[in-house]
Amino acid sequence: MIGVALGTGMLLNTILPTLLVLAGNTLYLAGMLAALAAVIYVVLDPKTRNLVWYMYKSVMRSITGLFVRIDPISILKSYIEDLKVNLMKLSKQIGALRGQMRQLKGLMDGNTAEIEKNMAIAEQSKKKNDDKNLTLATRKAGRLQDSNAKYKVVYKRMDVLNRILEKMYENSEFVLEDTQDQIKVKETEYIAIKTGHSAIKSAMSVLSGDPDKKELFEMGMEALADEVGDKVGEMERFMDTSRNCNYPAAFSGTGASTKALMALKTDWPFLIAVSITERMTANS
């Protein structure tokens, strides 16, 4: 028993790593299969497809609306270009149809001439009792008459179609010209409104101002007011100090002019300038 237990333990110890690897791979495979099944179910589900389709349409509609808002006039002009291309295609189709009608008309005229020719041969063969040529000529003339009858039906249908296409071409030209005129009016209105709106925005910017720039402006005004106040204060202090000085004594020692003494009562700025000049002269 002990040997069997030991043998079993050794066997398990040997194959256990392999069993763990197989179990791990099996779980991984099962997970991948489950994920694949979920993806297939989502793809095949009609509701999911409709949801994805609506999401795609919504995104594309939003992108289209963005481009339209950016430059609506270009969108309208692109529409006009598409109309012109379609009108050119319609004109080419009408030309091709007329060419086919002309060829068919020529073919019918040729068959008519050939019928007359074969009928003349049949008449001569009848006079000569030539049954072979009479039969061949009459049967050929009959086949050509049947062909012309079918060609006439086709030609009438082509003629009706040609008239319809001509009418459509005229209406398309009218729509194109009318749309072009309408776009010109809208473009003029758009440019005028855009210009006016830009002017209004500029005026509002001037009135309201940029907050950051306005703050700098206010700071500059305050600094200027402070500096002006300081300068005015210094000037007033100097004037008060000068008013208390003994100007006659000061001027008598420096040989100042009597005109400066006479201006003492009326011309304070001149007095201040003379005082400053005399002081600078005395100091030098």
> pLDDT tens digits for 217-272?
777 778 777 777 777 777 766 666 766 555 454 444 444 445 544 544 445 455 55
3-state secondary structure (DSSP) of residue 264: coil
157: domain CATH number is 1.10.287
Q: Is a pLDDT exceeding 60 seen at residue 179?
A: yes
Based on the domain organization, do 81 and 61 belong to the same domain? no
Is residue 118 within 8 A of residue 144, CB to CB? The reply is yes
Based on the domain organization, do 266 and 156 belong to the same domain? no
Q: Is a pLDDT exceeding 70 seen at residue 281?
A: no
Angle at which helix 72-127 crosses helix 131-208, to 10 degrees, equals 170
> pLDDT tens digits for 96-141?
999 999 999 999 999 888 888 888 888 888 787 877 877 888 888 8
Q: What share of the chain is helix, strand, coil (3-state, %, to 5)?
A: 95, 0, 5
pLDDT at 256: 47
Based on the domain organization, do 92 and 191 belong to the same domain? yes
Based on the domain organization, do 214 and 204 belong to the same domain? no
Based on the domain organization, do 82 and 200 belong to the same domain? yes
Structural domain range at position 273: 245-284
Q: Is a pLDDT exceeding 60 seen at residue 284?
A: no
* Tokens coding 123: 């008449």
Based on the domain organization, do 84 and 157 belong to the same domain? yes
Based on the domain organization, do 84 and 200 belong to the same domain? yes
Count up the domains in the chain and report the number: 4
pLDDT at 190: 80
Q: What is this structure's pTM? A: 0.49
Kindly state whether residue 156 falls inside one of the protein's structural domains.
yes
* Upper half-sphere CA count for residue 5 (Cβ side, 13 Å): 2
Based on the domain organization, do 75 and 191 belong to the same domain? yes
